[in-house]
């Protein structure tokens, strides 16, 4: 186990002008689980592969346990990796797969057996040790891949979208399993995923990457409550944050068709800002806090999910595409901003499932000015609250 | 947790200059390639150059070759046997359509799952594994004047069809070409069968639904889809037409009767190792290399052009 | 013919539309032609075997017919006069080392070209393919000169090296196709597990391309066992000759004994026939590689 320091690491692929990974600096503490998250093609996997030593860096330095490993081969870095499609050796049994890395490192047989046995037991692979990967189910293969990585007791464990090949149910199960294993073994872990839920549930800290640029590194709750910029705000959280343009007029903020008092935010003299509100922060008006301002919503779509429901409704004011502008990434898989028929933006509210709500129904929601987030319309950067400086993180 | 051995022992390297990194690994990589590359360089690339150099020399195989300029090539222009050999190779080239059509037709036949197709597929491959020397010796016996073939023809009252197969200047070259086609068609069948297996069956079925006849399907659907495979096979047999004949001719006819079955490769061998004119033979080799280069290049270009 | 009549029509729908009769007549014609072709492919074996097993007098009585009595005399003379045992051993002593050497060199080279990220790999592969298209006859004289100059003429090592070089381009090409089917991630995983390039090749890549290696070995054995011209030129001396040279020269004698020639042919066919029987699938895979892509 060891800390990993990434110092200005950069990757420019041959023939490409833009860097796939642009001078990323990060430190993963000993025993920590850091999740790299971002839309596909954002460079998170490239960064992981550079840490693993299977991709060369174009610049910068990588240190594991204090030692500069930038020029070292993967095999000399003492890290283990779990691949997206597991990369188990198809001609070896599960047992042989687990033994392989230890055998290469010339570990005595007795100790090897002990370790393999322990790992097989921990991952409930005991029954499967004589099988070959071709005879295993997806979840079992995933566990073998985990086992192969863990049995080496490496300084760090790198995982590249390890759950993405599993079906939805199994993925949730394995997610919990991974959290449990990390809790027990406590190996320094870097975990790559495009799924923000996975990131939020597994990471001690989460690093959001877009277009090869590190956007923010913070614990999950902080990422959610104080995103550094619009990209992070809209990438983290499901359903995605509602964003619309707000106009400052006569000391009041006009936003989504309602007038609000301006919260203590350093607007820096701007009269137009982007304002975001989390769907979960839009509550029925009667249940909102004291300072809440009423917002009348005409339901366009209501999605009933059992315990809760998602209500989509149009709001007055121009739609904001700032979220996608900041990311600048056309290939990214999140839908853009929802638009109503007349081109105004659609907001989502997550409400407790009460009664049947359908299109055309009117709802009275409350907007709490204290829960609003403000972003610079040009740069997408978060505008800091004046009073509470604690939660804000710097870029 | 303990760090495994090995990794820890390597001290941190300083002075990262990105251009020079992984240089140790680069060397290992080239070590994998080196033995093969050296062998190819010494025994293939260098000889190609040497073949051209020797073509401008006179060399008997004992003394040192000495340069004589273009006179080998001048002699070639006047060499009756060489021109005749070229002509025979031209005859072989003319036979190439048969060389393509036979395996193509046989593969289509097998593909329709005619009764016993597995057996046929196996048996048609049999001549391929046998050495041309064996086939030459075999046909030398079977086609002899008093051999089994003529014997069989006479015994069924077809004595009129009996010929001196290997001694009739007009007949021997076609016989030799026929044997080569027969000996290699098994490979062609396999290649075409592989192509047919990759055929888009849906298009064939669509054509059937459209009411196309078998012949129309064959002509308009199957043939066009198999064209790349046909091209592949054609390139192979064009190369083979210049090189596959030597062992058969060496064992079956020795170029005879007279010079009726001399081909360029056999001529090259004879000039070099029967007449001891290795420089002259090199010139033949260079001409041959040139012809193959032009033929194959032209062929590939033609097929590419026709397809686009 | 019975079989043709018995086989159910493949596409009943079409048969019905075209009227009965016609497709089965077509099939019958195909069957008859195929049967004749098949007979021409099998007959050499039968003829050589029967000629080898009968006396010369018996052969002359009816060359194409069946033997009336059997003898082992031809085989005995194949060993004593043709020295077929010696010739076969000579061939094996050249072919086996060459096949092994080709397999090793081609494996290493294909592995490096496909998986070790060599800068010029595409160019090198293109060069290898060009060499495949080069007819070996063109190289006969310069190779002869080279072997002569380094003093390896009439030396098995000379022929082994020549055979290896001549078959390397095809072998490398064939193996790269198999190498590509090994997922890159497996190699990365091996690297992370601590395996160097040699270990990765040995423990991960080779087990996965074993079928390809099998194909390569059988195909090369067949090619080299049957090869004539380079063997003729490089191993000229009587006692070192390979089997095909020995047979070719023996059968060229004017007063040859058909029975002895046939016995020699039959014995020389044993390795190819064994390969044909046991490795037919490997051969087919090797010969059609590259045909459909």
pLDDT of residue A337: 53
pLDDT of residue A341: 58
Angle at which helix C156-180 crosses helix C121-133, to 10 degrees, equals 120
pLDDT of residue B4: 38
Strands A283-284 and A362-367: antiparallel
Angle at which helix C258-288 crosses helix B132-142, to 10 degrees, equals 140
Burial of residue B256, with CB atoms counted within 10 A of its CB: 0-12 exposed, 13-18 middle, 19 or more buried:
middle
End-to-end CA gap in chain A = 28
pLDDT of residue B220 exceeding 70: yes
pLDDT of residue C156: 92
Q: What share of chain A is helix, strand, coil (3-state, %, to 5)?
A: 30, 30, 40
Residue C191 has its nearest CB partner, among A75, A88, A152, at A75
Enclosing H/E stretch for A376? none
Q: What angle do CA B221, B223, B226 make, to 5 degrees?
A: 105
Q: Which chains touch C (3 or more CB pairs under 8 A)?
A: A, B
pLDDT of residue A318: 58
B 63-102 residues inside an 8 A Cβ radius of C: none
Contacts of residue C203 in chain A, CB cutoff 8 Å? 100
Look-up: residue for tokens 């979220």?
Answer: A323
CA distance A337 to C181: 42
Contacts of residue A103 in chain B, CB cutoff 8 Å? none
Contacts of residue B11 in chain A, CB cutoff 8 Å? 67
Q: Which residue in B87, B126, B245 sits closest to B175, CA to CA? A: B245
CATH at residue B219: 1.10.3720.10
Domains of chain A, first to last: 4-225 (3.40.50.300), 230-375 (2.40.50.140)
- With the CA atoms of C54, C58, C63 and C67 taken in that order, what torsion angle do they form, in degrees rounded to the nearest 10? -50
pLDDT of residue B24: 47
CB contact under 8 A, C141 and B282: yes
pLDDT of residue A137: 92
CB contact under 8 A, A105 and C191: no
Chosen from B7, B138, B151 to mutate, greatest number of chain C CBs within 10 A: B138
- With the CA atoms of A174, A178, A184 and A188 taken in that order, what torsion angle do they form, in degrees rounded to the nearest 10? 170
Helices (H) and strands (E) in chain C, counts: 16, 0
On whether any CB of chain B is under 8 Å from the CB of A77, the answer is yes
Contact assessment for residue A96 and residue A102, using Cβ atoms and an 8 Å cutoff:
no
B148 belongs to a structural domain: yes
Contact assessment for residue C136 and residue C234, using Cβ atoms and an 8 Å cutoff:
no
Token pair of A358 as six digits: 């359908």
Residue ranges in chain A modelled with pLDDT below 50:
321-336, 388-395
Strands A258-261 and A252-255: antiparallel
CA distance C60 to C38: 26
Residue ranges in chain C modelled with pLDDT below 70:
1-23, 290-293
pLDDT band at residue B32 using 50, 70 and 90 as cut-offs: very high
pLDDT of residue B239: 83
Name, in order, each residue with C-beta under 8 angstroms of C118's C-beta and a sequence gap of 6 or more: B29, B30, B33, C112, C124
On whether any CB of chain A is under 8 Å from the CB of B63, the answer is no
Minimum distance, in Å, between the CA of residue C193 and any CA atom of chain A: 4
pLDDT of residue C145: 93
Give the residue-averaged pLDDT of B277-282.
93
CA distance C284 to B194: 9
CA distances from C32 to B109, B214, C25, C37 (A): 11, 20, 11, 9
Chain A: which residues have CB within 8 Å of chain C? 52-54, 73-75, 79-81, 83-85, 87-91, 100-101, 104-105, 148, 152
B236 belongs to a structural domain: yes
List, for residues B158-198, the tens digit of each pLDDT value.
877 888 888 888 899 999 999 999 999 999 999 999 888 88
Q: Which domain holds residue B165?
A: 71-307
Look-up: residue for tokens 């090198």?
Answer: C124
Domains of chain C, first to last: 2-71 (no CATH), 83-288 (1.10.3720.10)
Token pair of C189 as six digits: 């995983």
On whether any CB of chain A is under 8 Å from the CB of C196, the answer is yes
B17 belongs to a structural domain: no
List, for residues B102-157, the tens digit of each pLDDT value.
999 999 989 888 888 889 988 998 999 999 999 999 999 888 888 888 888 888 88
Q: What count of other Cβ atoms lies within 10 Å of the Cβ of residue C134?
A: 19
CB contact under 8 A, B13 and A58: no
B121 belongs to a structural domain: yes
What is residue C138's DSSP assignment? G
Name, in order, each residue with C-beta under 8 angstroms of C154's C-beta and a sequence gap of 6 or more: C234, C235, C236, C237, C240
Q: Which residue of C has its CA nearest to B290?
A: C138
Domain count, chain B: 1
What is residue A297's DSSP assignment? E
pLDDT of residue B14: 36
pLDDT of residue C17: 40
Q: Please, where are the H alpha helices in chain A?
A: 44-52, 94-104, 109-122, 138-151, 168-185, 196-202, 220-225, 230-235, 322-327
B2 belongs to a structural domain: no
A352: left (phi over 0), alpha (psi -120 to 50) or beta: beta
CA distance C264 to C45: 13
Q: Which residue of C has its CA nearest to A149?
A: C193
């Amino acid at each position: 186990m060891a800390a990993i320091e990434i110092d200005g690491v950069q990757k420019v692929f041959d023939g490409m002008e833009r860097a796939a990974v642009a001078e990323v600096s990060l430190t993963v503490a000993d025993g920590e689980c850091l999740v790299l998250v971002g839309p596909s093609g954002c460079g998170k996997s490239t960064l992981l592969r550079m840490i693993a030593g299977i991709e060369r860096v174009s610049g910068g330095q990588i240190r594991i346990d204090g030692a500069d490993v930038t020029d070292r081969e993967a095999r000399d870095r003492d890290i283990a990796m779990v691949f997206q499609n597991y990369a188990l050796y198809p001609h070896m049994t599960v047992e042989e797969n687990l033994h392989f890395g230890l055998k290469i490192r010339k570990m005595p047989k007795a100790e090897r057996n002990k370790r393999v046995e322990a790992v097989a037991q921990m991952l409930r692979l005991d029954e499967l040790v004589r099988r070959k990967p071709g005879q295993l189910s997806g979840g079992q293969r995933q566990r073998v891949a985990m086992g192969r990585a863990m049995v080496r007791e490496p300084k760090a464990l790198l995982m590249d979208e390890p759950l993405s090949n599993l079906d939805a149910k199994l993925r949730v199960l394995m997610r919990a399993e991974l959290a449990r294993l990390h809790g027990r073994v406590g190996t320094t872990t870097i975990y790559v995923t495009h799924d923000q839920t996975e990131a939020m549930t597994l990471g001690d800290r989460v690093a959001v990457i877009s277009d090869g640029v590190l956007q923010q590194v913070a614990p999950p709750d902080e990422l959610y409550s104080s995103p550094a910029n619009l990209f992070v705000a809209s990438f983290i959280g499901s359903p995605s944050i509602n964003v619309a343009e707000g106009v400052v007029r006569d000391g009041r903020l006009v936003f989504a068709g309602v007038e609000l008092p301006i919260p203590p935010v350093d607007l820096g003299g701007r009269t137009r800002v982007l304002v975001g509100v989390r769907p979960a922060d839009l509550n029925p008006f009667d249940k909102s806090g004291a300072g809440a301002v009423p917002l009348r919503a005409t339901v366009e779509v209501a999605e009933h999910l059992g315990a809760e429901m998602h209500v989509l409704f149009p709001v007055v004011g121009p739609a904001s595409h700032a979220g996608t502008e900041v990311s600048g990434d056309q290939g990214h898989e999140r839908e853009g901003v929802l638009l109503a028929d007349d081109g105004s933006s659609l907001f989502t509210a997550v409400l407790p499932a009460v009664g049947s709500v359908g299109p055309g129904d009117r709802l009275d929601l409350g907007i709490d000015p204290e829960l609003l987030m403000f972003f610079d319309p040009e740069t997408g950067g978060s505008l800091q609250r004046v009073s509470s400086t604690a939660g804000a993180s710097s870029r | 947790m303990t760090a495994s051995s090995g990794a820890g022992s390597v001290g941190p390297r300083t002075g990262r200059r990105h251009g020079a990194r992984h240089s140790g690994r680069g060397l290992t990589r080239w070590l994998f390639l080196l033995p093969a590359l050296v062998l190819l360089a010494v025994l293939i690339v260098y000889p190609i150059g040497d073949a051209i150099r020797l073509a401008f020399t006179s060399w008997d195989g004992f003394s040192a070759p000495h340069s004589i300029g273009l006179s080998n090539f001048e002699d070639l222009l006047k060499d009756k046997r060489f021109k005749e050999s070229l002509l025979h190779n031209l005859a072989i080239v003319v036979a190439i359509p048969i060389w393509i059509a036979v395996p193509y037709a046989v593969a289509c036949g097998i593909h329709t799952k005619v009764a016993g197709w597995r057996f046929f597929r196996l048996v048609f491959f049999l001549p391929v594994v046998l050495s041309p020397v064996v086939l030459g010796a075999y046909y030398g016996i079977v086609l002899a004047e008093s051999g089994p073939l003529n014997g069989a023809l006479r015994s069924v009252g077809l004595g009129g069809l009996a010929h001196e197969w290997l001694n009739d200047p007009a007949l021997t070259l076609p016989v030799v070409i026929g044997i080569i086609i027969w000996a290699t068609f098994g490979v062609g069948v396999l290649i075409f069968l592989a192509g047919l297996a990759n055929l888009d069956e849906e298009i064939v079925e669509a054509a059937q639904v459209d009411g196309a006849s078998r012949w129309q399907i064959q002509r308009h659907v199957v043939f066009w889809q198999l064209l790349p495979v046909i091209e592949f096979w054609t390139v192979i047999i064009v190369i083979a037409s210049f090189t596959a004949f030597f062992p058969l001719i060496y064992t079956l006819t020795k170029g005879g009767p007279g010079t009726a079955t001399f081909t360029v490769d056999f001529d090259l061998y004879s000039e070099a190792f029967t007449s001891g004119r290795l420089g002259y033979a090199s010139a033949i080799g260079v001409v041959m290399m040139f012809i193959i280069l032009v033929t194959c290049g032209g062929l590939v270009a033609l097929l590419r052009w026709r397809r686009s | 013919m019975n079989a043709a009549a018995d086989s159910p029509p493949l596409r009943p729908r079409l048969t019905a539309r075209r009227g009965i009769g016609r497709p089965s007549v077509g099939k019958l014609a195909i069957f008859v032609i195929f049967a004749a072709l098949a007979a021409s492919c099998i007959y050499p074996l039968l003829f050589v075997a029967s000629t080898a097993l009968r006396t010369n007098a018996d052969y002359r009585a009816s060359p194409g017919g069946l033997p009336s009595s059997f003898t082992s005399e031809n085989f005995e003379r194949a060993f004593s006069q043709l020295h077929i045992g010696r010739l076969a051993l000579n061939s094996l002593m050249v072919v086996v080392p060459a096949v092994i050497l080709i397999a090793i060199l081609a494996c290493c080279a294909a592995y490096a070209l496909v998986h070790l990220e060599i800068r010029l790999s595409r160019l090198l592969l293109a060069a290898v393919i060009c060499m495949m298209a080069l007819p070996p006859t063109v190289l006969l004289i310069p190779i002869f000169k080279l072997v002569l100059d380094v003093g390896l003429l009439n030396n098995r090592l000379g022929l082994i090296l020549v055979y290896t070089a001549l078959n390397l381009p095809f072998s490398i090409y064939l193996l790269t196709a198999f190498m590509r089917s090994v997922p890159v991630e497996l190699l990365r995983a091996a690297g992370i597990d601590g395996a160097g390039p040699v270990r990765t090749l040995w423990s991960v890549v080779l087990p996965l391309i074993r079928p390809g290696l099998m194909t390569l070995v059988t195909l090369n054995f067949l090619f080299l066992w049957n090869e004539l011209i380079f063997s003729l030129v490089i191993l000229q001396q009587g006692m070192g000759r390979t089997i095909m040279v020995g047979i070719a020269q023996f059968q060229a004698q004017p007063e040859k004994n058909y029975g002895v020639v046939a016995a020699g042919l039959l014995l020389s066919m044993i390795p190819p026939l064994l390969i044909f029987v046991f490795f037919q699938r490997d051969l087919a895979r090797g010969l059609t590689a590259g045909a459909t892509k």
